[in-house]
Amino acid sequence: MKRKHTLILLVLFLSLLFTVDSALAAMVAIKGDDINMRSGPGTKYKVLWKLDSGFPLKILKKKGSWYRVQDFEGTIGWVHRNVTTRKGHMIVDVNKKSQKRVNVRSGPGTNNRIVAKAYYGVVFRTLKQKSGWVQVEHEKGVRGWIKRSLVWGF
Q: Which residue numbers in the chain have pLDDT < 70?
A: 1-25
pLDDT at 121: 97
Amino acid at 151: V
Provide the 10 A C-beta neighbour count for residue 27: 18
Query: What gap in Å lies between CA 1 and CA 14, rounded to an integer?
Result: 20
pLDDT at 76: 98
pLDDT at 125: 98
Query: What gap in Å lies between CA 130 and CA 116, rounded to an integer?
Result: 19
Query: What gap in Å lies between CA 68 and CA 24, rounded to an integer?
Result: 16
Give the predicted TM-score (pTM) of the model.
0.81
Residue 18 C-beta-side C-alpha neighbours within 13 Å: 5
Alpha helices (H) along the chain: 2-24
pLDDT at 4: 46
Amino acid at 62: K
* Contact (CB, 8 A) for 57 and 83: no
Cα→Cα distances 118→15, 53, 94, 137, 143, Å: 39, 17, 10, 12, 12
Q: Give DSSP secondary structure letters for 125-138.
A: EEEEEETTEEEEE-
pLDDT at 13: 43
